[in-house]
Amino acid sequence: MKPLRVWAVARKEFLHIVRDPRSLGMGIAIPMLLLVLFGYALTLDVDNVPLVVWDQSGSQVSRDFLSRFAGSRYFTVVGDVRNYRNLERAVDARAALAGLVIPSDFAGRVASGRDAAVQFIIDGSDSNTATIAIGYAEAVARTYSADVALKEVRRSGGRALHSPIDLRPRVWFNADLESKNYIIPGLIAVIMMVIAALLTSLTVAREWERGTMEQLISTPVTGPELILGKLLPYFAIGMLDVTIAVAMGEWLFRVPLRGSAALVFGMGAVFLAGALSLGMVISIVTRSQLLASQLAMVLTFLPSFLLSGFMYAIANMPRPIQLVTYLIPARYFVALLKGIYLKGVGLEVLALEAGLLGLFGAAMVLLANVKFKKKLV
């Protein structure tokens, strides 16, 4: 392999990128746009759940109970209703996600120390949000019940209530439980996988469609030199994208990078080499830009988004699907980024993921060289 030939092919590809604003835009602008859109729009945090209230008691006790919901950052009381029909209408019109129904005997039951049943109606169309909102409502109710019981004990002069279990939760690595702190690192991996494969999936196919591949075949340039020369400009663009994504995560989304930045870029380079080579393999096999771009999207975006652990926990998937995820390279890069970003760990913990990612990169580079033949047919 002669460096001069590789440089000649790389220079030719780089000039094509510079002269084609679409390729340059796809390589730089689209990752930034996707990161902004997904970073702000994709969130699993449930705050300010709109709540309507039917307070049949209308007492000071019920108002005190409602103040617990109104004062919580998880609920926003958007109105009062007078019957179930109005409550149902508010939920159907999406003016409210939940409804709280307080019975007329609420104050009397609380005062007499009896159980007071309060109905919490939730729109289950979005099961994840509904489950979280129910958990918030139960927490508010438990806190209010504990306060009432404590006041009753103090009033009667009895002994303080003793709880046999004192659970003190402590959250590590993401103390505020903000979804963006683990979505952004995973999002970087997904975007890099998609963009890298899309960029190189058009390179060889474009040469075939424009009739310039015959000229390249007639030159002394070997197959490995041609592939490496075509990969280098896109590798540089990919590393620039990684730099931009890390900078946006740090200063735009305020996601802390607790681990080694050098390790992020090192693993990013390995991942890019594999993803770019995968796009090259697709381009070599299809020889059509349209088919190559479509196949690259199917083989990269959907598996990376759904099966990498970026959004959905792999442990919760059916066993056969869990086995399939081992074939998704983004799975290992997502695990690496989350470990570096959130936990600050290094290769002493992530050696297996790093090794498998390196294996993927080497396999894709080798496959691209094997599949490319300097032949017209």
Determine how many CB atoms are found less than 10 A away from the CB of residue 61.
Answer: 17
- State the pLDDT at residue 162: 59
Confidence band of 160 (pLDDT split at 50, 70, 90): low
8 Å CB contact between 186 and 334: yes
The domains located in the chain, with CATH, are 8-43+178-371 (no CATH), 49-156 (3.40.1710.10)
Beta pairing partners, 80: 53
For the residues 163-189, what does the mean pLDDT come to? 79
Q: Exposed, middle or buried, 257 (CB in 10 Å: 0-12/13-18/19+)?
A: middle
340 pLDDT band (50/70/90 cuts)?
A: very high
Asked if 86 and 173 touch (Cβ cutoff 8 Å), the reply is no
- C-alpha 33/C-alpha 31 separation (Å) is 5
Is the model's pLDDT at 1 over the cut of 80? no
- Round the average pLDDT of the chain to a whole number and report it: 86
Nearest to 189 by CA among 34, 370, 294, 47: 34
Percent of the chain with pLDDT over 90: 35
pLDDT at residue 218 is higher than 70: yes
- Output 54 or 286, whichever has higher pLDDT: 54
Measured CA to CA in angstroms, residue 278 lies from 228, 239, 322, 338 at distances of: 13, 17, 22, 24
Q: What is the pLDDT of residue 115?
A: 84
Q: Token pair for residue 175?
A: 């103390």
Q: What is the pTM of this model?
A: 0.80
Please name the residue ranges forming H helices in the chain: 3-19, 21-24, 30-41, 60-70, 84-92, 106-112, 127-156, 180-200, 203-210, 213-218, 223-251, 261-286, 289-307, 319-325, 329-338, 347-371
Q: Distance (Å, rounded) from C-alpha 374 to C-alpha 368?
A: 13
Mean pLDDT of 346-359: 93
Report the pLDDT value the prediction gives residue 89, as an integer from 0 to 100: 93
